[in-house]
Amino acid sequence: MNLLDRILDLLFPPKCPFCGRVREHGGICPECEKTLPWTAENEVCRELPGALRCAAPLWYEELAREGILRFKFQGASALATALGELAARCAAEQFPGEFDTVTWVPVSKKRLRKRGYDQAELLARAACRLWDTEPVCLLHKTVDNPAQSGISDAAARRANVLGVYEVCGDAAGKRVLLMDDICTTGATLSECAQVLKDAGAESVVCVAVSKTRGTFKK
Ligand SMILES: [Zn+2]
């Protein structure tokens, strides 16, 4: 560890993303590891509209929900490392050899200015650090639409994200891993995947840190 990293560690000691206990080497503490709402082996992958597969290691409940909300809304961008690594390990297990490019579901420019960071981009960056690579910005959000979290109806959620994303990089021939923080109905992921495929992506698989329980009409 170099001097700057040591100083940064003293000033901002790495903490467990879920309970805030200081952890010498970062990562999730053993207590949280035990109590987190992990998805079971047969529940990790969910099929979304368009036969799109989305993997998620955690249910969006209890400790996982609290950690993700902190990460998303309270400026706790440092939590990205632990959460991004969780998603990365899950994607590597579920989709071995199925992707060569990592990208994320972007927020709008307006949201980015307000929040100061794009949470899914931070997750993708953390995942890619594990794999010694860099995520590629392939999507832009061109419309600052109402947040999906305020809409419960599946059809309304699909309508809300329709046409709000466009491709901003070269997606042609890429086998893409698309990352996000939460998968609810999958409307956003499906729309982004479709935009990527329309731009020539060979395939798309998705990973989210967590997903909600329940089944949704496809
Ligand atoms: Zn903990």
Given a cut of 70, is residue 169 above it in pLDDT? yes
Q: What is the pLDDT of residues 175-209, one digit of tens each?
A: 999 999 999 989 999 999 999 999 999 999 999 99
Query: How many Å lie between the centroid of ligand 1 and the Cα of residue 41?
Result: 22
Tokens for 78, please give them.
Answer: 């440092």
Query: How many Å lie between the centroid of ligand 1 and the Cα of residue 27?
Result: 9
What confidence score (pLDDT) does residue 199 get? 97
25 burial class (0-12, 13-18, 19+ CB within 10 angstroms)? exposed
Query: How many Å lie between the centroid of ligand 1 and the Cα of residue 24?
Result: 12
Q: What sections of 58-153 are H helices per DSSP?
A: 62-73, 80-94, 109-115, 119-130
Largest CA distance in the chain: 53
What confidence score (pLDDT) does residue 218 get? 40
Query: How many Å lie between the centroid of ligand 1 and the Cα of residue 58?
Result: 15
Given a cut of 70, is residue 3 above it in pLDDT? yes
What confidence score (pLDDT) does residue 76 get? 66
Query: Which residues, in sequence order, are bridge partners of residue 165?
Result: 141
Query: How many Å lie between the centroid of ligand 1 and the Cα of residue 67?
Result: 10
Give the pLDDT band of residue 215 (cuts 50, 70, 90): low
Domain ranges within the chain, ordered by starting residue: 18-40+48-211
Query: How many Å lie between the centroid of ligand 1 and the Cα of residue 78?
Result: 14
Query: How many Å lie between the centroid of ligand 1 and the Cα of residue 113?
Result: 30
Query: How many Å lie between the centroid of ligand 1 and the Cα of residue 69?
Result: 15
Select 18-40+48-211's CATH number: 3.40.50.2020, 3.50.50.60, 3.40.50.2300, 3.40.366.10. 3.40.50.2020
Q: What is the pLDDT of residues 127-159, one digit of tens each?
A: 999 999 999 999 999 988 888 888 888 888 888
Give CA–CA dist 99/193, Å, rounded: 13
SS (H, E, C) 174-186: CEEEEEEEEECCC
Give CA–CA dist 35/94, Å, rounded: 22
Given a cut of 60, is residue 217 above it in pLDDT? no
Q: pTM score, two decimals?
A: 0.89
